[in-house]
Every structure is written in C-alpha cells, then in structure tokens.
C-alpha cells in the first residue's frame, strides 16, 4: 500500500489501524537540537482526542505518544523520530453487525474495490483515529516553527449553517482554548451548541469549516510550479479524513470580485515593500509573501449516524441501517488540532527546503 508518507525533506510516515493494538509514526529529516516541551505535545493531543465533550465520540484513549527513537534527554538528535500511541479502548464488536454492509459515505466500498477486502472495525486505516499520529508529529513541527517566530492558529469558523463573523486579526488563543467547540465567537458558539444538541437527539450529524492563520512566515517559501506552497497546504488538508474543500485568501469569493477589488497594491512600511492588503492570503505565484497565510478547510457531516437509513447490503438487498457505536455529531472542533498539525508540517518542511532551518538548530 502506497501513500503513507508525507513531505519533501521533513517526512512523516504513519502506520496502524483504528482497532489494532497501536498506531504510530516515524518523522525523518527533523533537525537536531530542539528541546521538546512534552506538555505542549500533550495539550495538542488533548484537543484532538475523543471523549472531551458531549458531541464527541466517547472512545476513551489517553493518546500519550511514546517516543522510542530520535530523542535523547528530551532533545531531538537528528535521527528518525519514532513514536507509538496505544489503542487502549478498542471495541471491534461495535462493528460486528456492519460486516454485511458498506457504510454509506465511508471508505469501505472503495477500499474493497481497490484491495479486495476492507477492515470494518471503525474503518481500519481509513479511520480518523490515524490523525492522532499527525497531531503528535505536528506538535513537534509547531515547536520548531516557534523558534523562528512562526505561529499557527486554527479555529472553528462554521458548524452547519452557523458562520462566525469575519475576523480581521488572529483571534485570541485563550478565547479559542476556552471554547468547547474551539470557536472564538461566543454568540455563534451558543447557536452551534443548540444545533448540535438537536442533531444529537435526532441521531444525525453536520459538517463545518476550520479556518487557520499562520503568522511570521518569511517571504520566499514555496516553488512557482508544482510545489507551490498553497498546493502543498491543500494536499495536506485534503488528506485529512472528511475534508471536502480548501481555499486560501479570498478563495472562492474571489471568483465574484473585480480585479480592482481583489488586487493587493504594494506599500512601504516597517517591513519595507509589502502588500497593503492580503486578499491573496499570504501567497502569490505559489510563494509566500511574508503576510499572514489565511486558509479554510471544509469538512463533511460525520457519516456514522444512528438515524435510520435505507441502503443495500453487500448482497444487494435493500435494508434499514442504524449505526451504533461511538461517533461524533460534528468532527470540526477536533479537526482544528489536525489542521494546525498538518499546517505546521508543511511550513516546517518548506523552511527546511528553503534553507531557513538547517540540520541543527542549537
């Protein structure tokens, strides 16, 4: 099976299944000399892990990575960093009754078409459980970027049809962390809570949008053709389970604007010559401008719902299906940590490719 490794010079390989004994990753190309703050790693894992709210899957995992190579006395050595995350709360029996079905909107059907079989236990390798690996790796990449003044802030900007007001500045991190939905708009969050409560009662689900801002990225990251910075960000975000759309800067809204409305004229300020506005979202021609990078990721509704559905089983017989087990009403709040992690891996990779970060940072 191909497609388990991500990145150019900073590369993450992930392995493991949702209901196997453990999942894990190997990070290759990570510079030596970073003193890891394990509290920050645990904090990132906590934001993604299930069981933290009434609208999340109640699967109870500690999600504490065990680093088994590439770290000595808490500092990265330059060798491959390998880590394991135990699956302590497996319940494969929850999926026993689903063995005769391809769950609607799940990867089981296409997995079977490609490989001739699929793991029905929570989706196996296709499960969002795999994203715990990305968050662990991204937490290290994020700490590396902090050394160079780069900060990544993700937040919930939409759940269902409820959208927060436009933000002109990076939202307060404490406001986001103090929200159970990771939403910086208290009024919108209250409406989101009510929506999720109703959907939970109905046995249904909804999607939403994670927005992300990256501050401090120097101008010049990215390539002008195939390895464009926004293309790598898009590839990273669209590799996340349930991701359905990506845009940056004005994104799809740019399609309805005039050039005179969308252009970013240049001005001279403390940073020298720079775009006076940022409709481009911090990237022009595939290369960073030095302005804050702005992008959004849209996520579909959670596919596993207890609400009754009519679908064909593997024999082609139409039947009623209600999916039990432990599932989120909306994946977006937990996806915030995953979006930040993948953004950190992309930016750190490009910082290494461009020579801004060397083999040793001490």
**Torsions phi, psi for 222 (to 5 deg):** 105, 165
Is 347 contained in some domain? yes
- Residue 146 tokens read as 């902090």
Is 359 contained in some domain? no
Q: What is the predicted pLDDT for the residue at 344?
A: 98
Q: Provide the β-strand partners of residue 15.
A: 24
Is 214 contained in some domain? yes
194-210 confidence digits (pLDDT tens): 999 999 999 999 999 99
Q: What is the predicted pLDDT for the residue at 122?
A: 60
User: Per-residue pLDDT for 79 more than 70?
Assistant: yes
212-229 confidence digits (pLDDT tens): 999 999 999 999 999 999
Is 362 contained in some domain? no
- Residue 235 tokens read as 């590839």
Q: What is the predicted pLDDT for the residue at 102?
A: 79
Number of domains the chain contains: 1
141-157 confidence digits (pLDDT tens): 999 999 999 999 999 99
Q: What is the predicted pLDDT for the residue at 38?
A: 96
Cβ neighbors of 33 (< 8 A, separation 6 or more) are 75, 76, 78, 360, 361, 362
CATH classification of the domain holding 225:
3.60.150.10
CA distance 226 to 96: 44
CA distance 187 to 185: 6
Average pLDDT over residues 241-250: 96
Q: What is the predicted pLDDT for the residue at 354?
A: 96
User: Per-residue pLDDT for 78 more than 60?
Assistant: yes
Is 358 contained in some domain? no
Cβ atoms 112, 3 nearer than 8 A: no
Cβ atoms 340, 348 nearer than 8 A: no
Q: Which tops the pLDDT comparison, 27 or 114?
A: 27
* Secondary structure (H, E, C), 88-143: CCCCHHHHHHHCCCCCCCCCHHHHHHHHCCCCCCCCHHHCHHHHHHHHHHHHHHHH
Enclosing H/E stretch for 15: strand 11-16
Cβ neighbors of 295 (< 8 A, separation 6 or more) are 211, 212, 230, 233, 237, 246, 247, 248, 249, 251, 281
User: Per-residue pLDDT for 55 more than 60?
Assistant: no
Which domain covers residue 41, as residue numbers?
Answer: 5-353
293-340 confidence digits (pLDDT tens): 999 999 999 888 888 888 888 888 888 777 776 678 999 999 999 999
Q: What is the predicted pLDDT for the residue at 125?
A: 77
User: Per-residue pLDDT for 52 more than 80?
Assistant: no
Side-chain half-sphere exposure of 45, counting CA atoms within 13 A: 22
Cβ atoms 197, 53 nearer than 8 A: no
CA distance 129 to 123: 9
Average pLDDT over residues 185-192: 95
Q: Which tops the pLDDT comparison, 317 or 265?
A: 265
User: Per-residue pLDDT for 60 more than 60?
Assistant: no
CA 101 from chain centre, in angstroms, equals 28
106-132 confidence digits (pLDDT tens): 887 888 888 887 777 666 677 888 999
Is 288 contained in some domain? yes
* Secondary structure (H, E, C), 44-102: HHHHHCCCCCCCCCCCCCCCCCEEEECEECCEECCCCEEEEEECCCCCHHHHHHHCCCC
CA distance 223 to 229: 7
- Residue 192 tokens read as 């989101």
Instruction: Tell me the pLDDT band of 103, cut-offs 50, 70 and 90.
Output: confident
Q: What is the predicted pLDDT for the residue at 197?
A: 93
| Angle at CA of residue 339, ends 307 and 323, nearest 5° | 15
Q: What is the predicted pLDDT for the residue at 97?
A: 64
Q: Any idea which residue has 């390989």 for tokens?
A: 13
Q: Among residues 130, 169, 55, 77, which one has the least CA distance to residue 359?
A: 77
Cβ atoms 105, 303 nearer than 8 A: yes
Instruction: Tell me the pLDDT band of 244, cut-offs 50, 70 and 90.
Output: very high
Cβ atoms 232, 248 nearer than 8 A: no
Stretch among 96-105, 268-277, 288-297 having the lowest mean pLDDT: 96-105
CA distance 26 to 11: 8
Is 132 contained in some domain? yes
Q: What is the predicted pLDDT for the residue at 121?
A: 66
Q: What is the predicted pLDDT for the residue at 108?
A: 78
Mean of the per-residue pLDDT values of the chain: 90
């Amino acid at each position: 099976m191909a497609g388990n490794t991500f990145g150019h010079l900073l590369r993450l390989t992930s392995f493991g299944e949702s209901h196997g004994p453990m999942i894990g990753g190997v990070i290759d190309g990570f510079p030596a000399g970073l003193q890891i703050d394990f509290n920050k790693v645990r904090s990132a894992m906590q934001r993604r892990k299930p069981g933290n709210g009434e609208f999340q899957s109640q699967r109870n995992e500690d999600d504490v990575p065990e680093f088994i190579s590439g770290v000595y006395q808490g500092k990265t050595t330059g060798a491959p960093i390998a880590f394991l995350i135990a699956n302590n709360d497996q319940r494969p029996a929850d999926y026993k009754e689903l063995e005769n079905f391809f769950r609607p909107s799940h990867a089981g059907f296409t997995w079977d078409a490609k490989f001739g079989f699929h793991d029905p236990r929570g989706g196996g390798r296709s499960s969002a459980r795999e994203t715990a690996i990305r968050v662990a790796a991204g937490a290290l990449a994020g700490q590396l970027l902090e050394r160079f003044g780069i900060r990544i802030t993700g937040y919930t900007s939409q759940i269902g049809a409820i959208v927060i007001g436009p933000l002109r500045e990076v939202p307060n991190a404490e406001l986001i962390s103090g929200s159970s939905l990771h939403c910086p708009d208290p009024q919108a969050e209250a409406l989101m809570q009510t929506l999720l409560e109703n959907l939970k009662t109905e046995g249904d689900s909804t999607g939403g949008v994670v927005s992300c801002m990256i501050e401090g990225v120097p101008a010049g990251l990215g390539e002008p053709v195939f390895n464009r910075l926004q293309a790598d960000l898009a590839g990273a975000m669209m590799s996340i389970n349930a991701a359905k759309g990506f845009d940056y800067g004005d994104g799809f809204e740019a399609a309805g604007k005039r050039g005179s409305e969308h252009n970013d004229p240049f001005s001279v300020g403390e940073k020298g010559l720079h775009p006076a506005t940022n409709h481009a979202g911090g990237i022009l021609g595939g290369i960073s401008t030095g302005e804050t990078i702005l992008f959004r990721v849209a996520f579909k509704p959670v596919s596993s719902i207890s609400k009754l559905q009519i679908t064909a089983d593997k024999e082609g017989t139409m039947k009623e299906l209600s999916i039990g087990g432990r599932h989120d009403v909306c994946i977006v709040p937990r996806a915030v940590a995953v979006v930040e992690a993948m953004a950190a891996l992309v930016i750190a990779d490009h910082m290494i490719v461009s020579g801004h970060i060397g083999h040793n940072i001490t």
